[in-house]
Structure 1
Amino acid sequence: MTVLTCEGVDAGYTKGRPVVRGFDLELLPGEVVALLGPNGAGKTTLLLTLAGLLPGLGGTITLGGEQLRSGRARAAARRGLVLVPDDRSLFTQLTARENLTIARRRGGSTVDQVLEYFPGLGRRLKVPAGMLSGGEQQMLALGRALVQDPRILLVDELSMGLAPVIVEELLPVVRRIADGTGTAVVLVEQHVRLALEVADRAVVLVHGETALSGSAARLAADPGLLERAYLGEQVA
């Protein structure tokens, strides 16, 4: 059963001037979809709209068969649509454990379950979030999302500010989360090769429109196809 359906979604900041136009997507439980594209393509704008932090400018977003009301972030979160923003938005003065505790909702992962995915956080639970390394902060941000009992994770630029070696460790965890919990994931990522390794499907946005979509394996096997899409050339 589809957990999220987008039909003709327009997203942006000014009525009548959408940044993203006519976006369509059907997302299945446990599926990871990589949302790719050059800077300025509208990927973050789209995630903010799906999460209800931006009012939609057109189209419909359906979660679990029920249409989401535009611009209602709290309602979207209650329905299990959880955003992991690119700035992580942690409470920097609170400890890692406190960040997890205050975010937890009934049915969400416990702290111990989070540590199964991110064992490195175990010895850092008493440390203020602002004093964690960038990689540890990203682990905490993902853990905080898990304790909210998500049906869908929207992960925006997991690799922001992180060394490639850390990204190589964290992205496979996203795959494990999807497989282990059945949570669907929309993953915005600039490390294209690594994203395609953990994703089931990929969608490439260019200038606010879907330039290419298909299985992650197919796109990974044809880098030239991806390159042409990124450059705005028409692809089959």
Structure 2
Amino acid sequence: MTLLHLEGIEAAYGAAQALFGVDLTVDEGEVLALMGRNGMGKSTTIRVICRLMAHSAGQVRFAGQDMARTPPHVAARAGLGLVPEGRRVFSNLTVGENLIAAARPGPWDMRKVTQLFPRLGERAGQVAGHLSGGEQQMLAIGRALMTNPRLMLLDEATEGLAPVVRQEIWSALDAVRRDSGLSLLVVDKSLAELGRIAERAVILERGRSVWHGAMSQVAGEVANTYLGV
């Protein structure tokens, strides 16, 4: 069953158009990789999905509902959980306060999140602004899970982190995919790591969807043409 459906999405920052036709779908329980070079519209697409930005053309449907006039807080309540680029934790609140700030009833609670990321349990009383970058990223993921979303969107969740921390986060996302069946839309540049968890990929170029297919096919000519790797 299709959970998220985007068709012909166009969006702009003032007079500067950023999206010229984005099409993608995410099914229940599926992991989709959203890929492309820098500046191709991935983060803008995430913003449109989460209703942080309006679209000027096309259609966004989530769980069968037209999201065109939905404000961000209602989109979140509908089941969209965002792990934003740059983490954006509440730096003056403790780890525990960050986790419960937007918590909603469901299987993901404090106990389950701290099992996934034990360091969050160890630092529950620590102010989030004093955490390392990797710990803040774990907190951002945990905070999104605590909203008990139907779809979690991760925008460059491992960018700039040490390799050992990256591996810890990818392992946690693999566990979320495997054990909970939560739908994920993941923006990242790591083909190897995305290949561990994603079934399909959509590639954007200059604000348009230009390729979609199995994650296993994102290699060779496809990667060279659209990703520059």
Q: What's the TM-score once normalised by structure 1's chain length?
A: 0.91
Counterpart CA distance in 2 for 1:162 and 1:70 is 36
Q: Alignment partner of 2:152: what SS?
A: strand
Counterpart CA distance in 1 for 2:122 and 2:85 is 24
Matches within 5 A, 1:150-189: 150-189=149-188
Q: In the alignment, is the contact (CA less than 8 A) between 2:7 and 2:22 conserved in 1?
A: yes
Counterpart CA distance in 2 for 1:143 and 1:227 is 34
Q: In the alignment, is the contact (CA less than 8 A) between 1:32 and 1:175 conserved in 2?
A: no
Counterpart CA distance in 2 for 1:117 and 1:34 is 22
Which one scores higher on RCO, CA 8 angstroms, separation ≥ 6?
Answer: 2
Look up the equivalent residue of 1:185 and give its one-letter code: L
Counterpart CA distance in 1 for 2:107 and 2:89 is 18
Q: 1:2 offset after TM fit, Å?
A: 1.0
The reply to whether residue 100 of structure 1 matches residue 102 of structure 2 is no
Corresponding residue for residue 134 of structure 2: 135
Q: 1:75 offset after TM fit, Å?
A: 1.4
Paired residues in the alignment total 228
Q: 1:114 offset after TM fit, Å?
A: 0.3
Counterpart CA distance in 2 for 1:113 and 1:195 is 24
Q: In the alignment, is the contact (CA less than 8 A) between 2:152 and 2:184 conserved in 1?
A: yes
Q: 1:223 offset after TM fit, Å?
A: 2.9
Matches within 5 A, 1:1-236: 1-14=1-14, 17-70=16-69, 72-107=71-106, 109-219=108-218, 222-230=219-227
Counterpart CA distance in 2 for 1:108 and 1:129 is 24
Q: Alignment partner of 2:119: what SS?
A: helix
Specify whether residues 75 and 205 from structure 1 end up closer, same or farther in structure 2 by C-alpha distance, changes over 3 A only.
same
Q: 1:167 offset after TM fit, Å?
A: 1.3
Q: 1:25 offset after TM fit, Å?
A: 1.4
Q: In the alignment, is the contact (CA less than 8 A) between 2:24 and 2:202 conserved in 1?
A: no
Q: In the alignment, is the contact (CA less than 8 A) between 1:108 and 1:150 conserved in 2?
A: no
Q: In the alignment, is the contact (CA less than 8 A) between 1:108 and 1:146 conserved in 2?
A: no
What RMSD over aligned residues (CA atoms) do the two structures have, in Å? 1.6
Counterpart CA distance in 2 for 1:86 and 1:104 is 20
Look up the equivalent residue of 1:4 and give its one-letter code: L
Counterpart CA distance in 2 for 1:223 and 1:197 is 18
Counterpart CA distance in 1 for 2:182 and 2:69 is 22
Counterpart CA distance in 2 for 1:57 and 1:71 is 14
Counterpart CA distance in 2 for 1:140 and 1:133 is 10
Counterpart CA distance in 2 for 1:154 and 1:201 is 15
Q: Which residues of structure 1 form unaligned runs of 5+?
A: 232-236
Q: 1:136 offset after TM fit, Å?
A: 0.8
Larger mean CA deviation between 62-71 and 96-105 belongs to 62-71
Larger mean CA deviation between 120-129 and 189-198 belongs to 189-198
Look up the equivalent residue of 1:227 and give its one-letter code: N
Q: Which runs of 4+ in 1 moved over 6 A?
A: none
